[in-house]
Chain A
Amino acid sequence: DAKTTQPNSMESNEEEPVHLPCNHSTISGTDYIHWYRQLPSQGPEYVIHGLTSNVNNRMASLAIAEDRKSSTLILHRATLRDAAVYYCILRDGDYGGSQGNLIFGKGTKLSVKP
């Protein structure tokens, strides 16, 4: 699976929007962009995923660059509960080349200040 690059840490204020960047310059045409987060002392939690178009769900929005070499996870109004490590992961949609597991990097540790 192609590699992703994320900042080690970010800070945000409660109630403000947060933009978490991810670079994936070697992304292939069949790679899906997934985001997961891990709250302290919990298992990872799915956030959102997309292929080419921007995506919205109840948790967040995913903005994908036109060349797909980068993406941004957007939390519209950060809460204290959003403090977590956020992982940007590429998953190969080519069934012949993928075994389906997630490859986690170090992610971005998001701190939210009240």
Chain B
Amino acid sequence: GAGVSQSPSNKVTEKGKDVELRCDPISGHTALYWYRQSLGQGLEFLIYFQGNSAPDKSGLPSDRFSAERTGGSVSTLTIQRTQQEDSAVYLCASSLHWAANYEQYFGPGTRLTVT
């Protein structure tokens, strides 16, 4: 079946511009997660959704970052006034349920480069 998809696959933007990253989870998955991976760094959790709500936004690195999920499906991660330190691969994952005994399925990521 179809896996998690993300778009765009690559995005180059100028410092100060806003960007939107999109995630299409696996159909029927109620939990959706955003992570990012900077060059040579580990995977960092950003935010997760139970249905359409995000119980905890404390993982977002600054108030320039926001995310929403509509209809319990597609999610958008928005970065305002991008900075060079925002350059990273942004990964989305979905899971049938947010409980600990459910696996997460990751998308291929969006590589964001801020020049």
- Chain A residues close to B by CB (< 8 Å): 30-32, 34, 36, 42-46, 49, 51, 91-93, 95, 98-106
- Contact, CB under 8 Å: B109 / A101: no
Residue of A nearest to B43 (CB): A104
Q: Chain A residues near B44 (CB, 8 Å)?
A: 104
Whether the Cβ atoms of B105 and A46 lie closer than 8 Å is yes
Specify the chain A residue showing the minimal Cβ separation from B58.
A99
Q: How far is the CB of A38 from chain B (nearest CB, A)?
A: 8
Contact of A99 with B106 in the complex, beta carbons under 8 Å: no
Q: Would A105 and B101 be within 8 Å (CB), given that A42-B108, A45-B106, A100-B95 are in contact?
A: no
Contacting residue for B103 out of A34, A92, A101, CB 8 A: A34
Q: Cα distance A23–B101 when bound, in Å?
A: 20
Interface string of B91-107 (1 = CB under 8 A from A): 10101001111011111
Which of B4, B31, B108, B109 is the one whose CB lies under 8 Å from A100? B31
A44-B91, A44-B106, A101-B59 known; A106-B101 Cβ under 8 A: no
Asked if A101 and B106 make an inter-chain contact with CB atoms under 8 angstroms apart, the answer reads no
* B interface residues with partner A (beta carbon < 8 Å): 4, 31, 33, 35, 42-45, 48, 50, 55-56, 59, 91, 93, 95, 98-101, 103-109
Chain A residues with Cβ below 8 Å from B104 are: 36, 44, 46, 102
Contact of A43 with B99 in the complex, beta carbons under 8 Å: no
A97–B56 alpha-carbon span in the complex (Å): 12
Query: 4 additional contacts, CB 8 Å, given A32-B101, A44-B106?
Result: A43-B4, A45-B106, A46-B104, A93-B101
Query: Which partner residue on chain B sits nearest A102 by CB separation?
Result: B104
A33 → chain B closest CB, angstroms: 10
Chain A contacts of B55 at CB under 8 A? 99
* A44–B98 CB distance below 8 A: no
Q: List 19 A-B contacts (CB under 8 A).
A: A32-B100, A43-B91, A43-B106, A43-B109, A44-B93, A45-B106, A49-B101, A49-B103, A92-B100, A93-B99, A95-B99, A99-B48, A99-B55, A100-B98, A100-B99, A102-B33, A102-B43, A103-B45, A104-B35
